[in-house]
C-alpha cells in the first residue's frame, strides 16, 4: 500500500474546467511525471506491433486474443472500446500484455445485434464506455472475482443498459451498438478539446456531471492522460445528456479520503502485474501495479 499512499500524497487538484453540465478537475502529481515504459494500444495498433482478434473463427463473446509483437509491454485500459471483427467489445479490466506474447483478455459485448465479421481484427475506437456503464461493469467484475475468480461482467446487464440508453436518447441502431449512440449524441472532438485542456504535469482528472461525482482516472504522465482524455470526455458528455443517469454529490476531499481508507483487496489478474480493487461508501475502483509503478488507477461512483 505504500506505493498507493505515495501517489495519493502527491496529488494536488487544479481549477475546474466546464462544458455545459460536465465539470472536470485536473489532478497533478508533485512527483512530476513518470517515464511510461508501456506502449499504448493505439500506438501499437497503428505501428503494426499488435493484433487483436476473436479467439477463433467461431468467436467467443467474453474473450479476445491480443498478440503483442513489440519488445515493450502494451497497456490496455478498462472500458476501452475495440471495434470490428464479429462485434464491438469493451475491455473489462486494465491489462498489461507482456512484450512478445499472446494473451486472452476479458471483454464485454457492446453491439448486441451483430455476430458476423466486418473486419479480420479489431481497431481502437474514439471512446470508452460511458461512465455509468463503466461503473456498473466494474462492480459486476468485482463480484465475479469474489465469487469465482474471473473477470467476467454481467453481459445481459450491459446489453440492457445500452438498450435503455438508446431509447432514452432516441437513437435507432440496427445492431444496438454503443458506438451509434455516441455518433448521434456527442459533439465534434474540437469542441471538447477547446473546453478541456490537459495541462503540464497533469496525470489525471475527476469528473462531475450536474454536480455528482461521475469518475476519475490517474495515469503515469500528461502525455498518456492527454491521449485518453478526449475519448473519456465523450462518455461524460453522453451521460450528461441522459435524464435517466444521475450521480451522487461527493466532495473531492471525501473521495480521496475514502480511497485512502478503503480495504484494497488483491485479486488474480490477467497479464502482468498485481490488481487491487476497493469499495467504499461512495466510490469503488481498481489499480494496477507493474514493476513498481501504478500505470493506471480508476476511481468510479459506487453502484
Is the confidence at residue 200, as pLDDT, over 90? no
Using one digit for the tens of pLDDT, what is the confidence trace for 83-104? 999 999 999 999 999 999 999 9
What is the spatial distance between Cα 242 and Cα 168, in angstroms, rounded to a whole number?
7
Share of the chain above pLDDT 90, in %: 89
**Across residues 141-156, what is the average pLDDT?**
97
| pTM attached to this predicted model | 0.96
Using one digit for the tens of pLDDT, what is the confidence trace for 254-303? 999 999 999 999 999 999 999 999 999 999 999 999 999 999 999 999 98
CB contact at 8 A, 65 and 104 = yes
Is the confidence at residue 192, as pLDDT, over 90? no
Range 68-101 burial, b when 16+ CB lie within 10 A, else e: bebebbbbbbbbbbbbbbbbbbbbbbbbbbeeee
Torsion 173-65-34-213 (CA) sign: positive
Mean pLDDT of the chain: 95
Is the confidence at residue 16, as pLDDT, over 80? yes
Q: Give the position of cell 473521495.
A: 255
Using one digit for the tens of pLDDT, what is the confidence trace for 111-127? 999 999 999 999 999 99
Question: Per-residue confidence at 165, pLDDT binned at 50, 70, 90?
Answer: very high
Strand partners, 108: 90
Amino acid at each position: 500500500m505504500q506505493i498507493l499512499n505515495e501517489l495519493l500524497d502527491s496529488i494536488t487538484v487544479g481549477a475546474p474546467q466546464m462544458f455545459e453540465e460536465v465539470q472536470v478537475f485536473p489532478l497533478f502529481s508533485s512527483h512530476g511525471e513518470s517515464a511510461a515504459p508501456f506502449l499504448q494500444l493505439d500506438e501499437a495498433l497503428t505501428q503494426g506491433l499488435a493484433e487483436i482478434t476473436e479467439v477463433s473463427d467461431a468467436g467467443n463473446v467474453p474473450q479476445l486474443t491480443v498478440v503483442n509483437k513489440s519488445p515493450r509491454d502494451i497497456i490496455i485500459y478498462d472500458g476501452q472500446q475495440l471495434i470490428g471483427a464479429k462485434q464491438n467489445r469493451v475491455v473489462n479490466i486494465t491489462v498489461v500484455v507482456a512484450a512478445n506474447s499472446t494473451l486472452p483478455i476479458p471483454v464485454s459485448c457492446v453491439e448486441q445485434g451483430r455476430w458476423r465479421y466486418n473486419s479480420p481484427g479489431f481497431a481502437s475506437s474514439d471512446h470508452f464506455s460511458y461512465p455509468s456503464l463503466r461503473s456498473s461493469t466494474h462492480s459486476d467484475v468485482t463480484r465475479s472475482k469474489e465469487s469465482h475468480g474471473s473477470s467476467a461482467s454481467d453481459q445481459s446487464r450491459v446489453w440492457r443498459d445500452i438498450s435503455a440508453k438508446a431509447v432514452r436518447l432516441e437513437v435507432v441502431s440496427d445492431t444496438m451498438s454503443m458506438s451509434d449512440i455516441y455518433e448521434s449524441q456527442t459533439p465534434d472532438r474540437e469542441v471538447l478539446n477547446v473546453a478541456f485542456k490537459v495541462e503540464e504535469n497533469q496525470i489525471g482528472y475527476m469528473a462531475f456531471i450536474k454536480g455528482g461525482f461521475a469518475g476519475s482516472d490517474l495515469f503515469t504522465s500528461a502525455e498518456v492522460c492527454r491521449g485518453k482524455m478526449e475519448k473519456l470526455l465523450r462518455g461524460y458528455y453522453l451521460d450528461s445528456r441522459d435524464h435517466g443517469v444521475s450521480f451522487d454529490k461527493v466532495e473531492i476531499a471525501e473521495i480521496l479520503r475514502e480511497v485512502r481508507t478503503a480495504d484494497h483487496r488483491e485479486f488474480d489478474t490477467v497479464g502482468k502485474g498485481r490488481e487491487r480493487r476497493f469499495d467504499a461508501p461512495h466510490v469503488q475502483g481498481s489499480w494496477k501495479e507493474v514493476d513498481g509503478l501504478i500505470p493506471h488507477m480508476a476511481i468510479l461512483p459506487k453502484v
